[in-house]
Structure formats: structure tokens, C-alpha cells
Amino acid sequence: MSTSQHTPLVQIALSPAAAQAAAAADSQAALEAMRNRVAGQTGQRFWRSLEELSGTSEFQRWASNEFPDGASTWSDSVGRRRMLQLLGASLGLAGLTACTKQPEEKIVPYVQAPEDFVAGKSLKYASAVTLNGYAQGVLVESHLGRPTKVEGNDLHPASLGGTDIYAQAAPLVLYDPDRSQTLLRNGRISTWPAFVTAMGLIREEALANKGAGLSILTENTTSPTLAAQMKKLLAELPQAKWHQFDSVGTDNARAGAQLAFGQPASVQYNLAAADVILSLDADFLTHGPGAVRYAKDFGRRRKLWKESAHGSSHAPAAASHAAPAAAAHTAPAADTHAAAPAHAEAPKLNRLYVVESCPTSTGSIADHRLPLASAEVESYARALAAELGVNAGAATTKVSADWVKKVAADLKAHSGASAVIAGDCQPPAVHALAHAINAALGNIGKTVSFTDPVEINTAPGFESLQQLVADMNAGKVKTLIILGGNPVYTAPADLDFATAMKKVGTRVRLGLYDDETSALCQWHVPDTHSLETWTDLRAFDGTITIAQPLIAPIYGSHSAIEIMSVLLGRPEVTSYQAIREHYQSNALIAAPFEDNWRKALHDGILAGSALPAKTVAVRADLAAALPAPKAGSGLEINFRPDGSVYDGRFANNGWLQELPKPISRITWDNAAYIGSSTAAKLGLGNGDLVELKHAGRRVQAPIWIMPGHAADSVTVTLGYGRTRVGRIGNRIGYNAGAIRTSAAPYISSGLEIAKTGDTFRLATTQEHHSMEGRDIIRVANVADFEKDPQLWGHEHPPMSLYEDFEYKGYKWGMAIDLSACTGCNACTIACHAENNIAVVGKSEILRGREMHWIRIDRYYEGDPDDPGIYHQPLACQHCENAPCEGVCPVAATTHSEEGLNQMVYNRCIGTRYCSNNCPYKVRRFNFFLYSDWDTQSLEALRNPNVTVRSRGVMEKCTYCVQRINSARIEAEKEGRKIRDGEVITACQSVCPTEAITFGDLNDPNSKITRSRRNARNYKLLGDLNTRPRTEFLARVRNPNPELAAPKAPAPSHG
């Protein structure tokens, strides 16, 4: 029997089904014959063995034959040929797999789970993201090893818990499917060992001739490790050259310090101590390495506290319901944000003067804003300096005497508690003047301090690049190694970097994208994103962050430090080793090294690494040293980094492209911004396509009228018109760099505008810019407000025919302080990242279908040449009487017992009635399948706690319900209530000015409950009786009574 069972098994492996069936039939027949023989016997017949039993010759033959009839025939006649075929095929297939290395896929069973790791629970690691070489300390949320969301690092001086928009966009850059994924040689895929070998040859050659002909071009860097490597390399190769270039950077500030003090220095401001601030064309709240910190300090000085006169009657329901819950709140508040003591929340309001050409976020929050052509700022600074007794040479300014005398008087009155800040686009002279004024006012050491330069290479970038181009054109450069940056795109047009570069023998490029520069290089090495490599960077004040990677390089990329290791002849040294070695061998981390290293990684800062303040003195002959102001004629042109894509490095980032630019609210394009009266003079309107002629070059750009832009001046933004970056950023906008010159890269004159007669559709998220006299943003000057805190009228108590619902547990609410909101967009993009919001593209924005859950409304008021500019972040208001809920035919939007207006995606059939009936129009609809369900790399980006929405459903702000619920889980585990400050929504967390408060209105001691008692508190469209849970705090300004005060928009009814 055993034989008969074996045979078919063998055949299954060898034969097709038919043969198998035949063989089975054969063996069946043989068995049957044997059974018949046994059955045919009479009486008992014992058998000892099969042999004895099977007497027949047929059975003998069957039993002796390994393969039953037919089977052996088949395997014999066909098998040989087939075997050869199979042999050949399998050899071929084996060879195919050898072409690429199959990824190792190790499954890790967590028999012993790593410490701190709970599947499904996110972890946060301190790291840093970088812009222009400076660190912004962040905490990165990681889900199962995937970084998904960036939060600010409370401990980091450049963050204090907030971040800018670029930090928020970092995860999308990391997972960008268009990032360069392979090492390329002459455009074809190559390998890291091949690259190392090639670099070895370059190194040998360089060593032989002391580095002559070797040039390295980097962007600004603050990395101590990279600096040490560079120093070592330059020591080995003394004739090699290190060039540094940033399209938009802090060159002017460095040059300004050099000019003022005769020595390089970095400047830092302590705005917490500044009562009066004057910005000379500085957008210091949203641009620059210290912007987030400055916004934090600034914001804390804007929030006027005044107890509401009818505070107790304000929220009667809340007070009475809250009483029983109060006991549970005795636990100490775990508020990581600046916890203001209960009754000390009455900062002295600061005052901000802004002199600028193109309206910025900083200008929009100013108490006094003066539109002034950029080139005029210098003469204004000189006049102001003269008024304050600084010898800065003669000055005549077009600015009214009031703006000189009264601002000077105000600054003087606040000597030691004021700050004058010069913008990075302003020439060094303005920086030097600002330093001199600060020195004269006694601000240095109090609100303004200086340190040794944070940057490693303090050479001015444009000069450095000019030199490189000259060397390349002269044929002096044999090898050019470009680490980061994208000079072919960003270099000013007059340098014609691309042509010069082609004269270099070997061109090596390290870049995140296979972009315009890589296209012209023989070697392209994919760069690591800062979230996937070890790096060390300094913040604006010098504090070092040793930034940890959150994930192994996704595409086998390499960092600048690793390239430097290769150039130093130690290709085996990884970034991690290089950095650790640098800190260990130089004893930069105090012993015990391991403990302190771990602490530095954990905290995200190296304690005590901030650069010490140094004493500087303004040189006596400053007046003589200041270069004469350049006299320009004709229209002025300003080159500025773009409000969303910066200098073009973020051009392929959909979140940023879709983020409406501050003030103009344009998405997906750049425009030429021009003031209203200048536009009228030139006969230009929004969207007119014009030809900009400057310095002998021309480019076509659409016009956008920017109320409040200085007259006879045009601002263009860089970063668009890219040709080789990816599917998002290619060929959108125009390249303003095409008319930029290295001599005057930021401010120039002699611009000519010629109409082409064509128009271009710019996609804005806001079509209407006036409040129409409605009570939408409440604004008052502080003096008026102090006199009558109810100047906007009384708020009516809520009315209803029905008994109010009693919120017994939590009662979530939000407050947004419009006094602090600068309209910087950080909340919008943080929400985008947290809530898996889809990017819809320009054509959909043009049809009014943007998906932002929190948008920033911007209104103008008054004279179009000098308007008041107001911001209002608007997300779902979570109305208690929500108009959306009643009209949904399928109950897809409902109210939770904690007061959240919930959207049930699964239930939504998409009638859009809720959106129509929403008075705030904050609901967003998936008209198409906007979410990218196909791109694999983006799957890792998503927040696993938030549904990725499909086509045909409504969505909107949830108050970050996933965060509420994870806090709830923690609280319930510990058997307590959620503490105040434990739930921090994404928008609240990121806000650089801490304008957003969120918490439990049933907790009488919570910050949100206190905020409701502020006399500035009001409900948007409160008279509709929607009872919004998000309320606003009116904007109170602190204008100088001496200077013509800006008029507050008159509320329509009082």
C-alpha cells in the first residue's frame, strides 16, 4: 500500500495533470487486481509478505516499477528536453535577480519589544530642521518608525514650541516621490562605491597639486562638524577653495555688523524686553533664523488682559456646570506652553513701527506701518540716526518729519527697552545704522546683543559666487563639488552660472533633487533630508542641536558630512561617526560623554552651547565708513524670497504651493506686486501679464496689486519658474532670478514694465478683501479700549426656546487672539500635516475648492495705499447650535457630548447642504478624489490616527479630536481628568505667537475659561445664535498717540 501511495506523489511533482490522472488510474487498477485475488480465495489464507501475496506477474511488474505505466514513458521522452529548457530558464532567471540587490526585508517579531515602544502609539524625538543653514529645534512625531509630523521643541531657543511653515512642510519633502532616489553618473544610475572610487582619484590628484583647481560650493552652514571637516580638508589642500552662496540669506546682516563694528558678529534681539520696536524693512516675525523665537517674544507682549465687566454673566452655563467638575482639576497643570500665572497675564503692550516696501506679516501686525520704497529706507535710517544723535552723515529723506521725530522720540523715551531691526534684504549700511542707533539708545546688552558669527564662513555669498564664476570662466576650476544649493537656478542671471560651470572638468553635485544643477553635473549624489541623517547645526543664537535622524535614508542618500569624509579619504566614516567623533575628540560635550550625548540628543539642544554675548563698539568713523547711498532712477524692483517656496527649494512641495502667500493669498504662482496708485498710474490691473525689463534682461510676470505697497516700487518673489524639480514645481510661475543681478541682488532700480496685452489667472483663496463694515474683526486702539472695553457693544446672552444641553464632562473650546495673529500661515500648514489634508492644485483653487481646514482671512481697511491689514484664522467654530447639523439628511454631521461638531466621513453622502448652511464657510468638500491613494511614499507620510478622505465626502476641522482622544486614553489610564494644556491642537502647538488657546470650558481654572473672561473676547457672528465654541479676542493696537493713529474699522453696529 505504501508504494501505491508514493507513486502519485512523485508524479505530482513531475507530470502534468493528465499523466498524473493516468498513473493514478493504473495504480488503482493494480490494487483492484490484488484485492480481487484475495477476495477470490476460499478459507483463511495468511500471507507473510506482499511478495507472497502478489503472485501475479502483472503485480510483480507493477510493484517493481517505480513509475506506473505511462509515467516513465512521459518522463523519458519529453523530460530530457524539458529538463534542459528548465535548466536554461532557471539559470537565466537566477541571473536576472542578480542585476539589482534585492532589499533585505527583515521581519522583526517584537518578542522583546524595544523600550518605550508601544505599537500604535507615536513617539517624539528631538531633531532639527534647517533653512539657510540655521537650526530650528523640533520634536518629530514618529509612528512605527515613520516621521509624520513636526512640532516645535520647547527647549530650543529658536522654537520655544513653535515652528515656521517650512518646518511643518519638512515631512512632505522627506517623502516627496520626486526626490532624487539614485546616484547618477552622466545621468545614468551608478553606485556609491563607484563614486567613492572616483572621488578617491580626485583626492589623489588634489593632494598632488595641493588642491589647486578644486572648488567646493556650499550654502551657508553652521554645522561644527562640517566646519571641522572643511577646515581639515583646506589644511590638506591649501589651494582648494570653499565658496558659499545663498540666493536669499543673511549676508547683509553679517556685512552690516562688519561695517558697524569692524568685526564679524551675529545679532540677536530680546524682544521680550522691548517696549518699542522699529523694523527697517525687516519681516523679523516670519523670516530669518530667529523668526519663530522673535514671534514668541513679540506675541507675549501683545495680549492685553482686561477682566470682562460682565465676566460672570458671560458664560453662565459654563460656570454652573463647572462647579462639580472642579475638584478633579486639582492636579498640577502640565502645561508645556508658557504658563502665565493667573493674574499676571497683563503684559505691557509693546509698540511696533514697521517701515517697509511690500506688506509683510510683520507689517500687518504693526501699530504704525509706513510704506516706503526699499531704497528710501537707508535715508530714513540716516535721518533717524541723526535725530538720535548718531553721527551717520548727512541725510535727506522723503519721509515726513513726524515719522522721523516722533519715532525717534518714542525710541528715546524707551532707551534700553527698544530695538531697531534691519531687514536682511537691506544693504549693510542700514544694518550698521540700526546697530549704531541701538548702541546710542543703550539697547545693546538689553534688547540687542551680539555674538561671534554663528555661521562658519562669513564671506559674503554673492561676492564668493562671483569669484567662483570668474575662476570657472578663467578655466581655473578643474573640479567643482556642489554640496546642496541649486546655483544653476538661484544664481543671479548676470553671472550665467550654467555656462561658466560647463567649463569645469569634473562637476559633482549633492542635492535633494535631480534638478537644474544636477542636470549639468557628471556626478549627482542624492542628498539626505535633515530628518533622515545625523547632523549638527546651530540656532540663530549659536545653540547647537545634534539632530537625530528619524528614519534611515529612504533612498540610500548621503549627507554633506559623508561626502566630506570621502574627500578626506575616509569614506567609511558615516555622519553619525563623524559627528560623535567631533564632539568626543574635541571634548565639546562634558564628561561623562555618553550620558551628556544622550541628554543632548534627547533634549534637542546641547546645553550651554549658545554663543556668549560679546562686547562690540560702533566704530567712531562710521559716518565715513558708510558707503554712499546708491542713487537709483525709475521704478524700483525688490527681489524677495517667496512666502511659500522660499528661494525655490520648496517648489516641489504641494503643501507649500497650496499655502496662500501671506497678505496676497495667492497660491501656486508668484506675481509682481505693485502698489495701488502705481498700478493705476501704469494702467495695470490684477493678472495683467507684463514684461519686466531690468538690467538688460526680461521676464514675463503677472501683476498683482498689493494694497500698501510703496509707490514706484515693484516686488518680485524668487523660487518659481523652475524647470527641473518634480511634477509639482516644474514650470509654474516665472523665474524672477532671470532679471536679478549679483551687484544688486535684493534692491535695484531702473525697472521697466511693458504690457503684453495678455492676462494670466492667478489662483487666490480670497476674492473679497473688505469687511463691508461688518462686525468680523474687532479692532481698537488701546486707549479707546481702556476707556470703554465695551466699545463694540454688548454681547447678547444666548437665547433659546429649548433647554440648553448640559455638557457634563468636558466642554472643549478655543480662543484665537487677533492681537497676536500675524497671518504667518503656520497653523494652516500644521493642520495640513496633522490631518492628512489633500492638495488640490491650482485649477481647483481657481474654482474655490481649497481644502484648508483652517484658513486665514485677510482684510484691508482704509486707504489702498496705506491700508490697515487684519488677519483672522478661521476654522470650524464648533457651534453649539450648528446650522450644518440640522440640514444633513443622513446625520453625517453630529454633535458630541463634549461639544465637538463631528463629521462622520463614512456616513456622508455629499449633499453639501451643510457647507451651504455654514455661515463661516469652513467646511471642505472632496469634489474629486483629492487624496493621493496611489503614491507609495506618501502613504508613509500620513497620520495614522486621521482618516484619509475619499471622494464625495465633506470634511472640516475636528479640534484635532485624535489628540483629545489620545490625551483621554492617558488620563483614563491614570484615573484622572485630562489636564489643562494636555490637549494641544496642531494649530495651537505651531503658532509662533501663541495666539491660539484650547481647553476645557468646564474647568474654571483652565486658560480657555480665563480667556473667555477677557473683555476682548467676542463671538464671530454671535448674533446668529450659532453659539460658536471658537471665540476671538479683539485686536487691540498700541499706536503712538503723537503720531497720526491708524483708524480702527468702525463696527457696523454698537
Amino acid residing at 50: L
Our CB check for another protein shows the closer of 347 and 883 to be 883
Segment near another protein (CB under 8 A); pick from 442-450, 636-644, 818-826, 849-857:
849-857
- State the minimum distance, in angstroms, from the CB of residue 991 to another protein: 19
Q: To the nearest whole angstrom, how small is the minimum distance from the Cβ of residue 588 to another protein?
A: 51
CB closer to another protein out of 127 and 764: 764
Q: Which is nearer to another protein, 334 or 890 (CB)?
A: 890
DSSP string, 713-778: EEEEESS--BSSS-TTTBT-S--GGGG--SSSSSEEEEEEEEEEEEE---EES------TT-SSS-
**Which range in 31-39, 77-85, 455-463, 888-896 contacts another protein by CB under 8 A?**
888-896
Please tell me whether residue 831 binds another protein under the rule CB under 8 A: no
Positive/negative CA dihedral, 458, 463, 468, 474: negative
The contact pattern for another protein, residues 580-619, with x = CB under 8 A and - = no contact, is ----------------------------------------
Nearer to another protein, 817 or 857 (CB): 857
Q: What are phi and psi of 613, to 5 degrees?
A: -65, 145
Q: Kindly list the distances between the CA atom of residue 104 and the CA atoms of 101, 107, 463, 644, 654, in Å, as whole numbers in the listed order.
A: 9, 10, 48, 39, 32
| Residues 726-785 close enough to bind another protein by CB under 8 A | 766-774, 776
**Of positions 61, 921, 976, 1047, contacts another protein by CB under 8 A:** 921
d(CA 312, CA 1013): 8
Closest CB to another protein among residues 772, 974: 772
Grid look-up 525717534 returns 408
Alpha-helix runs per DSSP H in 218-371: 224-236, 251-261, 291-300, 311-314, 316-325, 361-365
- Stretch in the footprint of another protein (CB under 8 A) among 461-469, 566-574, 937-945, 1016-1024: 1016-1024
Please give the residues from 946 up to 985 whose contact with another protein meets the rule CB under 8 A.
951-954
CA-nearest of 292, 280, 612, 294 to 435 is 280
C-alpha cell at 222: 553652521
**Stretch of 166-174, 214-222, 445-453, 851-859 contacting another protein, by CB under 8 A:** 851-859
**Grid-cell match 575616509, residue found:** 570
Q: In the bound complex, what is the minimum distance in angstroms from residue 666's beta carbon to another protein? A: 15
889 binds another protein (CB under 8 A): yes
User: Rounded to the nearest 10 degrees, how much is the dihedral formed by the CA atoms of 139, 423, 485, 605?
Assistant: -30
Whole-number Å distance between alpha carbons of 582 and 671: 46
- Give CA–CA dist 922/918, Å, rounded: 7
Task: Please give the Cα distance from 977 to 958 (Å, whole number).
Answer: 21
CA neighbours closer than 13 Å in the CB half-sphere of residue 998: 22
Residue closer to another protein (CB basis): 47 or 928: 928
Query: CA dist 1000 to 18, 958, 1027, Å?
Result: 75, 15, 16
Residue 896 binds another protein (CB under 8 A): no
Nearer Cβ to another protein (283/844):
844
Is 655 a binding residue for another protein by CB under 8 A? The answer is no
What's at 672, amino acid-wise? A
Least CB distance to another protein at residue 1032 (A): 12
Restricting to residues 1021-1040, which ones interact with another protein according to CB under 8 A? 1021, 1024, 1026
Other C-beta atoms within 10 Å of 231: how many?
A: 12
Q: Among 418, 443, 657, 926, which residue interacts with another protein (rule: CB under 8 A)? A: 926
Q: Where are the beta strands (DSSP E) in 957-1003?
A: 996-1000
Cα separation of 380 and 372, whole Å? 9
Q: Can residue 698 be called a binding residue for another protein (CB under 8 A)?
A: no
368-371 and 351-356: which strand pairing?
parallel
Q: How far is the CB of 890 from another protein (least distance, A)?
A: 5
Indicate the residue among 677 and 766 with the shorter CB distance to another protein.
766
Q: Are strands 506-511 and 954-955 parallel, antiparallel or unpaired?
A: unpaired
**How many of the other CB atoms lie within 10 Å of CB of 944?**
15
Q: Which is nearer to another protein, 938 or 953 (CB)?
A: 953
Position among 915, 937, 966, 1005 found at the interface with another protein (CB under 8 A): 915
Q: Least distance (Å) from another protein to the CB of residue 929?
A: 7
CB closer to another protein out of 241 and 949: 949
Interface with another protein by CB under 8 A: which range of 256-264, 557-565, 724-732, 1018-1026?
A: 1018-1026
8 A C-beta contact, residue 699 and residue 760: no
Among 243, 254, 722, 858, binds another protein (CB under 8 A): 858
The minimum distance between CB 858 and another protein, in angstroms, equals: 7
Number of residues that bind another protein (CB under 8 A): 58
1052 lies in the site for another protein, by CB under 8 A: yes
Q: How far apart are the first and last CA of the chain?
A: 103
Q: What is the contact surface with another protein in residues (CB under 8 A)?
A: 766-774, 776, 844, 847-849, 855, 857-859, 872, 874, 883, 886-891, 907-913, 915-917, 919-929, 951-954, 1020-1021, 1024, 1026, 1052-1053
